Structure 1
Amino acid sequence: MKRILFSVLLFVATFANALNIGDATPAFEIKDQFEKKHKIASDAKTILVAADKGTSEILRDYFLAKDAKFLTSNKAYYVADISGMPSLIAKFFALPKMKKYPFSVLLVDEEQTKSFTKKEENITIYTVKNGKISDIRYVKDAAGLDSVFK
């Protein structure tokens, strides 16, 4: 019984503040791996969210295989939730590695991460139209990402 109650509470906490269809894109600023502040533009088309190391690696490899301007030209944003990563690991290992990427990775903090829906071992894909979330789906691999950018 306690396990079921805990699962329900975890589910509610995960989705309580998360973006839903019809919501406006987040208005808060998000820093990238270079400490540069970004806002998701009102003309954004896609927001891709990686919530764990595995999904981050899939997105990284996918975007490294594309043109350096791929995200910009597709009006897409790559958001990584590293809030659970120990700060020393982030500072000395993850961020220096990310600084070698030719694209921005928006890094959400513990408060900002609540705005994004997560599903274990999946990349969350928000489709945006006219500054509002029009669809939310999940993909597991590069083939799924290809279907996003057709």
Structure 2
Amino acid sequence: MKKTWLLLLGLFSTVVMAVEPGERLAPWTLLDQFEQPYSLDEQLQVLLVARDMEGAKLLEAALQGKPKGYLEQRHALFLADISRMPGPIASLFAVPAMRDYSYRVLLDRQARVVPRYPAAAATVLWLDLREGRLLAQRSFTDASALAAALEQAGP
């Protein structure tokens, strides 16, 4: 019974924290794959969120062959939830492999930030932002559609 209440409380708090269009995103700071901090700022226009490895692979496929700085030129960043990944796997294998990516990956190691955004499993959630406020959101399950959307968001 106690576990049921905790589960319901956790689900309720996630729903309550979800951001609606027009709302300002709550501030946060996370480290990237190079241990460099990034704090959410008003210049960010697109926040791409993946809750799992399938979503991260979807973005990786969409960015295949794109030059370094491609996301940054579009005022976009990628936020990945790696909280369910075992610590040794993350530190010894996954994060070092991410250092070869041509784009920055903000790492939510403790699921402090990603649960605020309703990203479904195996998708990339796209949040359109202006001056720190959510304008709209959409989800991608196809790498080519995501690549096309990124191209349209061009510099």
TM-score over 0.5 (shorter chain): yes
AA partner of residue 88 (structure 2)? L
Q: Does 1:128 align with 2:129?
A: yes
Distance 1:7 1:138, change over 3 A: farther
Q: Is the 8 A contact 1:127 1:133 kept in 2?
A: yes
- CA offsets 1:19-75 (integer angstroms, 9 cap, x no match): 221222342111101111001220211100011111101112322421211111000
The alignment yields a C-alpha RMSD, in angstroms, of 2.2
TM-score computed with the length of structure 1 as normaliser: 0.85
List alignment gaps of at least 5 residues for structure 2: none
TM-score computed with the length of structure 2 as normaliser: 0.83
**Identity fraction in percent:** 25
How far apart, CA to CA, are the structure 2 residues paired with 1:13 and 1:130?
25
Number of residue-to-residue matches in the alignment: 146
AA partner of residue 130 (structure 1)? E
Q: CA deviation at 1:6?
A: 9.7
For 1:79, the equivalent position in structure 2 comes to 79
How far apart, CA to CA, are the structure 2 residues paired with 1:147 and 1:12?
35
TM superposition outliers: structure 1 runs of 4+ over 4 Å = 5-11
Q: Is the 8 A contact 1:14 1:118 kept in 2?
A: no
AA partner of residue 49 (structure 1)? V
For 1:1-150, list aligned pairs within 5 A.
Answer: 11-108=11-108, 109-149=110-150, 150=152
